[in-house]
Amino acid sequence: MVGIAKDVHPSYFSINSENTVFFIDRNDRTAIYQLKGKEPLNKLEYAVNNDNNAPPLNLSSIIQVNDDTLIIQDANTRIPFWLLEIKQKKLTPLKPELNKDYESSSIFLNDTDIYLRFDDEIFTMVNGGLQFIHKFENKVQAFAIEEDKILFTDWSRLQFSTQDITHDFGIQFAFIRHIVPAKNGIYWLATDEGLVKIQSQAFQTFAQERGVYSKVFSIIEDNENSIWFAAYGNGLQRLKNEKHLEIISGYEELTKNLSLIHISEPTRPRLIS
């Protein structure tokens, strides 16, 4: 385990093919850290290239485009997304042109495309511009895209759309922050009730016992099918074979509790169309 100072709290993060982690500090939303193996924690230095006099940064999520480039989401809606060039130490606004104001945004990256959500609409980035993909009936919190469906949540309910028809998984969780389509038809959710796995319309929760926080911010599946996740108060963790919990970074006084993970029995909800 790599120790992290008590005033540094991993929240949303990204990971590359070499298991180098970049994460945003939950308590300092301008700070981006790099965690590589057993090397000391590295706070990235960057200069903000901002000609628009935007308000101070309030970074809220992060994805990795390649080994040298991150896209960072900003909770300030004037400039919702930034491009961070790590070697050049430069943070530059991404400026998707929209013809209307919006209240919230989020981002999703699959193997080939970058998708941006503004309120109830999804766009993909094409040649530096935006191409419209889908419009939801209501505003959504998190979304993910597969070949034949769009998964989304309105904070608590998981739903999906296929050919403009919306279906409900028939399950609810407190505050769904992140949706990750994994391999073999498995979906992982980051919720306030813990890490949630959905397979064949049945779900399981992976949560901490004995009073340790279960609130999960973000999830990533690595090349070995392990699930990495950042949990409130618990640092960064990795779940191997859905049984073994490994502490990647955290706080020494919590380590003895973090191995006490409770896995619920599979529950099969009724699918509502």
Q: What does the pLDDT look like over 30-71, one tens digit per residue? A: 889 888 877 778 889 988 887 666 667 888 888 888 888 898
Query: Distance between alpha carbon 6 and the CA centroid of its chain, in Å?
Result: 22
* Alpha-carbon distances, residue 61 vs 148, 177, 214 (angstroms): 25, 11, 19
Query: Distance between alpha carbon 165 and the CA centroid of its chain, in Å?
Result: 26
| Amino acid, single-letter form, for residue 217 | F
Q: Which of 96, 90, 87, 19 is nearest to 50 (CA)?
A: 90
Q: What is the mean pLDDT of residues 117-129?
A: 84
Q: Give the containing element (helix H, strand E) for 257.
A: helix 255-258
pTM over 0.95: no
* Class of residue 48 by CB neighbours under 10 A (exposed 0-12, middle 13-18, buried 19+): middle
pLDDT tens track for 71-80: 888 887 677 8
* Class of residue 47 by CB neighbours under 10 A (exposed 0-12, middle 13-18, buried 19+): exposed
- Looking at residue 263, its pLDDT comes to 53
- Looking at residue 220, its pLDDT comes to 87
Give the SS3 label for residue 254: helix
Q: d(Cα 114, Cα 218) in Å, to the nearest integer?
A: 18
Q: d(Cα 94, Cα 114) in Å, to the nearest integer?
A: 12
